[in-house]
């Protein structure tokens, strides 16, 4: 497809388990972002990748959260030892340019529920 693809769309896990969320950005987009959205809330920035530069990890809430981007394309967000407060929709976005345009292209998100 032409848009940002995320999987799984829904994930239910037990507290303490690890989860991996995948994002496939739009082909050719060099910038990739992860955001978290709790129910009825705004989008919380987590991490940003741009080309081969070191990622901006300033939004990761704890060391249980990590992300990688392989080959400048697909990204995986990993949450270790999940907690109930991690329950949210995790949104991935990409953009084609490094310069500021204010426009990101979002995927449909992965809804994570931690029991």
Is 90 near another protein (CB under 8 A)?
Answer: no
Of the candidates 12, 17, 41, 51, which one interacts with another protein according to CB under 8 A? 41
| Helix/strand/coil for 84 | helix
According to the binding rule CB under 8 A, does residue 34 interact with another protein? no
91 binds another protein (CB under 8 A): yes
In the chain the first and final C-alpha atoms are separated, in Å, by: 32
Per-residue binding letters, 47-66, with another protein (x by CB under 8 A): -x-x-----x----------
Structure letter (DSSP) for residue 86: G
Q: Which of 38, 22, 30, 33 is nearest to 77 (CA)?
A: 22
Contact predicate 82/94, CB 8 Å: no
List of residues contacting another protein (CB under 8 A): 4, 31, 33, 35, 40-45, 48, 50, 56, 91, 95, 97-109
């Amino acid at each position: 497809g032409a848009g940002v693809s995320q999987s799984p769309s829904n994930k239910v896990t037990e507290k303490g388990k690890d989860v991996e969320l995948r994002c496939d950005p739009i082909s050719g987009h060099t910038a990739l972002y992860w955001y978290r959205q709790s129910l009825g809330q705004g989008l919380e920035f987590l991490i940003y990748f741009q080309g081969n530069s070191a990622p901006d990890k300033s939004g990761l809430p704890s060391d249980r959260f990590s992300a990688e981007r392989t080959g400048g394309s697909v990204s995986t967000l990993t949450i270790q030892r999940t907690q109930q407060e991690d329950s949210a929709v995790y949104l991935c976005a990409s953009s084609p340019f490094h310069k500021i345009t204010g426009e990101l292209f979002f995927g449909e998100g992965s809804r994570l529920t931690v029991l």
